Amino acid sequence: MENNLSCLHPNPGWGEAFSKEIIDLNIPNTTLSIGKHCILELYDCDKNRLNDEAFLRTTITAAAKSAGAKLLNLITHRFSPYGVTCLALLAESHISIHTWPENGYAAVDVFTCGEQTMPEEACHIFKTELLAEQFSLTSFKRKTPEDIKNGLRKPHS
Catalytic residues: 93, 98, 113
Kindly report the backbone phi and psi dihedral angles of residue 106, in degrees, each rounded to the nearest multiple of 5, phi listed first.
Answer: -140, 140
Kindly report the backbone phi and psi dihedral angles of residue 17, in degrees, each rounded to the nearest multiple of 5, phi listed first.
Answer: -60, -40
Kindly report the backbone phi and psi dihedral angles of residue 146, in degrees, each rounded to the nearest multiple of 5, phi listed first.
Answer: -50, -40
Q: Cα dist. 47→26, 52, 112 in Å? A: 43, 9, 28
Per-residue b or e along 52-69, where b marks 16 or more CB atoms closer than 10 Å to that residue's CB: bbebbbebbbebbebbeb
Closest-CA residue to 95 (of 103, 85, 105, 104): 85
Q: Which residues are CB-contacts of 118 (< 8 A; sequence separation ≥ 6)?
A: 66, 67, 68, 112
